[in-house]
């Protein structure tokens, strides 16, 4: 729907008492199963008045804490603050989750309107001197108080959050802090909206059948169905991963591969209304200003105080250590593909749009199988069964679909999660397929966090969102092996949220250091390569034949194919992130030049004119991974080390799984992550397990 068809909603015209208040489902108690969201009743025009009312209610709750005549203590100040604004948090979760997974022009307009108001609301709390005085009073007396580890963590986390949000600034600097955070809240949204708009804007329509040469039948069928849905003749490809990825991997037409690659790599870098260059510069500049205001040299210094890595120097050293180990192997892998392409008649230097095409052919020849051979054994419904079986074997969970629970899109499925004693554990939403209203990628989020304050047990509502290959008229949804590992990754995040057994919302689930949050997700990817797990569900969708043992062995052998190249690629993202955020001045050079310099040590290809990774690098400019992209490699070290215990004891060993659940998944952010990790592993991790797993020891 165009903007002309979606008139701007004036928040003043929709306040309670002016047409929507009493009927607004967001402001009423959620009476659905397990108090799930009333998605069928929510209309776009409900959001702004719900935000206004819930912010006002939350302000009153905060004021009650400030006005409490009793001396500040842990309960009446720290716990009360953690519980304040529950209704607002519920509304924020629904709105911003749907703005990522089921957005519209009107939703995006509301996001831009509400973001600065939420920024002001947050600043009114964190910059309130009376409230901070109460928090500080409790914090300074913490050593005299009798508290458990989680209570200490919440107290320290609350105090640090206020300090890091400007509570100690003078009035002039507080005003500046407000301006910075308000603008940043809008810039991140605008950045992501531009990426989505550019992703949806591109279409590659093929009308000559010979241009489909090399593409598997399933991909051709999907492209025909996409074209038909747009009332076009031919085969339509786009920049959503199930379409874009296979086209680069299989299409024989090199010119078309180049065209679609250039379109993807130049998103939001065309000098039009969706261009992100100015947004990038301003975001980096404002983040630096905020860090300097709070006493840090760089934004990375500010962020890493609350990370396992602790300092930018340690992150840079970590990235460089892995780079020095992997670069020689990556160069060897690049040369192998170059020589292989030449053996097939290719002349010249392979370019980025050639890499996956020739790599896939080399992989197929070397291991005598293709990913397309595996897909018929990975029907989505069977993979879901397999993932649920894994949850049962490791953690005793039972997941049961409940079609009576409301969902926000017809493609979303809702499940109830129970433990072995049939006790309710969580709600899980699964949203698998791409659509123009959904941003790209895959992620886990929650609609309600877990908590257990004063004996009131609140169980979480978790959502996993992906962009997997859809079914066609003739074929069910068949996943690539990469999509299976992605499912396991996000389900690992989901387990972290679902199995949480913490006291407070502020410490539960995935409320952990960002370089620890990827451990539960990445460790579960390992099961994808285990025959014992694949045998549980992987059968041919037509014949029912089990995934052959010979094919499983080939998958295992190919596990380390180009692992060094992939490591260098991930390291380049981490280095680019640090280049933007560990600097003491704004970026005043050409962004393409800046980007090339940042990743020069890892780059194996010639530069591509017009391409700019930064303009669609949503992780660091709109996804919270700023000065934190290294986390994926950091957690990979943890997961390789942790999974070695399962390899030693058995991949379904219940004692090991119980220990991982008890010490990691249930603990959330209740203690420092290294304490939790050592409680499971008995020692701190090293890079040795990762290098060994990757064949680079």
Hey, which residues are catalytic here?
490
Kindly calculate the radius of gyration of the chain based on its CA atoms and give it in whole angstroms.
25
CA distance 666 to 508: 8
Q: State the chain's maximal CA–CA distance in angstroms.
A: 83
Long-range contacts of 23-27 (CB under 8 A, 24+ apart): 24/49, 24/50, 24/53, 26/50, 26/54, 26/90, 26/91, 26/94, 27/53, 27/54, 27/87
Would you call 339 helix, strand, or coil by DSSP?
Answer: helix
CA distance 625 to 505: 21
For 617, residues 6+ apart whose C-beta sits below 8 A from its C-beta are 573, 576, 577
Give whole-number Cα distances, 171 to 117, 128, 242, 294, in Å.
20, 11, 51, 13
Residue whose pair of structure tokens reads 């990754």 in the numeric block: 489
Token digits for 240? 């959503």
3-state per-residue secondary structure call for 207-274 = CCHHHHCCCCHHHHHHHHHHHHHCCCCCEEECCCHHHHHHHHHHCCCHHHHHHHHHHHHCCCCCCCCC
In DSSP notation, 38-86 reads -TTT--GGGHHHHHHHHHHHHHHHHHHHHH--SPP-IIIIIIHHHHTTH
Cα-Cα-Cα-Cα torsion 373, 374, 376, 378, nearest 10 degrees, comes to -170
Q: Could you tell me if 464 and 444 are in contact, meaning their C-beta atoms sit under 8 angstroms apart?
A: yes
Please, what is the end-to-end C-alpha distance for the chain in angstroms? 54
Question: Which sign, positive or negative, has the C-alpha torsion 340, 343, 349, 354?
Answer: negative
Q: Could you tell me if 230 and 435 are in contact, meaning their C-beta atoms sit under 8 angstroms apart?
A: no
Residue whose pair of structure tokens reads 């009131």 in the numeric block: 456
Question: Checking DSSP bridges between strand 204-206 and strand 235-237, what pairing results, if any?
Answer: antiparallel
Residue whose pair of structure tokens reads 């050293």 in the numeric block: 317
CA distance 15 to 220: 50
CA distance 583 to 590: 16
Quick one: DSSP state of residue 501? -
Would you call 429 helix, strand, or coil by DSSP?
Answer: strand
CA distance 267 to 440: 13
Token digits for 640? 């390789």
CA distance 532 to 537: 10
Token digits for 329? 């192997």
For residue 457, count CB atoms less than 10 angstroms from its CB and return exposed for 0-12, middle for 13-18, buried for 19 or more: exposed
- In terms of Cα–Cα distance, which of 462, 484, 459 is closest to 387? 484
CA distance 114 to 256: 41
Question: Checking DSSP bridges between strand 443-448 and strand 461-465, what pairing results, if any?
Answer: antiparallel
For residue 105, count CB atoms less than 10 angstroms from its CB and return exposed for 0-12, middle for 13-18, buried for 19 or more: middle
């Amino acid at each position: 729907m165009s903007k002309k068809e979606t008139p701007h909603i004036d928040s003043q015209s929709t306040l309670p008492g002016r047409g929507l208040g009493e009927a607004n489902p967001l402001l009423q108690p959620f009476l659905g199963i397990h108090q799930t969201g009333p998605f069928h009743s929510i209309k776009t025009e409900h959001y702004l008045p719900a935000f206004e009312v819930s912010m006002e209610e939350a302000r009153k709750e905060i004021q009650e804490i400030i006005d409490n005549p009793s001396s500040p203590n842990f309960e009446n100040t720290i716990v009360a603050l953690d519980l304040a604004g529950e209704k607002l948090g519920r509304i924020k979760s629904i709105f911003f989750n749907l703005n990522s997974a089921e957005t519209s022009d009107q939703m995006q307009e509301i996001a831009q309107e509400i973001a600065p108001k939420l920024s002001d609301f947050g600043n009114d709390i964190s910059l309130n001197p009376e409230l901070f005085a109460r928090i500080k009073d409790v914090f300074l007396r913490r050593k005299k108080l009798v508290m458990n580890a989680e209570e200490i963590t919440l107290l320290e986390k609350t105090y640090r959050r206020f300090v890091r949000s400007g509570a100690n600034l003078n009035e002039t600097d507080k005003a500046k802090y407000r301006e910075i955070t308000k603008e940043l809240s809008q810039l991140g949204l605008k950045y992501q909206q531009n990426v989505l708009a550019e992703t949806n804007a591109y279409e590659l329509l093929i009308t000559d059948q010979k241009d489909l040469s090399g593409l598997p039948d399933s991909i051709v069928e999907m492209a025909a169905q996409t074209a038909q849905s747009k009332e076009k003749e031919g085969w339509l490809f786009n920049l959503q991963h199930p379409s874009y990825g296979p086209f680069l991997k299989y299409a024989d037409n090199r010119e078309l591969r180049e065209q679609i690659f250039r379109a993807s790599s130049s998103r939001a870098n065309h000098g039009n209304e969706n261009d992100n260059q100015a947004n990038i510069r301003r975001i980096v500049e404002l983040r630096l200003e905020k860090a300097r205001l709070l006493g840090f040299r760089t934004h990375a210094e500010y962020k890493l105080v609350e990370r396992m890595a602790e300092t930018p120097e340690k992150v840079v050293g970590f990235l460089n250590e892995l780079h020095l180990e992997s670069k020689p192997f990556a160069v060897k892998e690049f040369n192998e593909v170059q020589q292989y392409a030449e053996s097939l008649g290719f002349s010249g230097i392979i370019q980025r749009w050639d890499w996956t095409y020739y790599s896939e052919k080399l992989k197929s020849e070397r291991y005598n199988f293709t990913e397309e051979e595996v897909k018929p054994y990975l029907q989505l419904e069977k993979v879901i069964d397999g993932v649920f079986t894994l949850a049962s074997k490791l953690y005793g969970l039972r997941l049961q679909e409940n079609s009576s629970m409301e969902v926000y899109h017809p493609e979303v499925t809702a499940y109830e999660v129970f433990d072995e004693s049939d006790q309710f554990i969580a709600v899980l939403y699964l949203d698998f397929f791409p659509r123009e209203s959904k941003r790209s990628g895959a992620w886990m989020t929650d609609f309600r966090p877990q908590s257990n304050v004063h004996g009131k047990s609140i169980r979480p509502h978790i959502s996993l969102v992906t962009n997997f290959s859809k079914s066609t008229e003739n074929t069910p949804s068949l996943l690539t092996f990469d999509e299976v590992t992605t499912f396991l990754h996000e389900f690992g995040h989901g387990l972290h949220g679902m199995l949480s057994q913490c006291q407070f919302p502020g410490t539960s689930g995935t409320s952990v250091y960002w370089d620890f949050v990827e451990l539960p997700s990445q460790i579960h990817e390992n099961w994808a390569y285990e025959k014992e797990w694949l045998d549980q569900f992987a059968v041919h969708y037509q014949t029912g034949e089990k995934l052959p043992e010979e094919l499983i062995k080939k998958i295992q052998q190919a596990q380390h194919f180009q692992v060094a190249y992939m490591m260098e690629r991930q390291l380049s993202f981490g280095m680019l992130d640090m280049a933007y955020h560990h600097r003491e001045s704004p970026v005043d050079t050409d962004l393409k030049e800046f980007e090339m310099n940042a990743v020069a040590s890892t780059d194996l290809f010639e530069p591509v004119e017009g391409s700019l990774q930064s303009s669609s690098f949503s992780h660091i400019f709109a996804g919270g991974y700023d000065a934190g992209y290294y986390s994926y490699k950091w957690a990979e070290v943890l997961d390789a080390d942790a999974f070695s215990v399962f390899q030693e004891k058995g991949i379904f060993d219940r004692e090991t799984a119980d220990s991982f659940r008890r010490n990691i998944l249930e603990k959330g952010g209740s203690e420092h992550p290294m304490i939790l990790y050592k409680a499971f592993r008995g020692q701190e991790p090293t890079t040795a397990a990762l290098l060994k797993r990757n064949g680079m020891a």
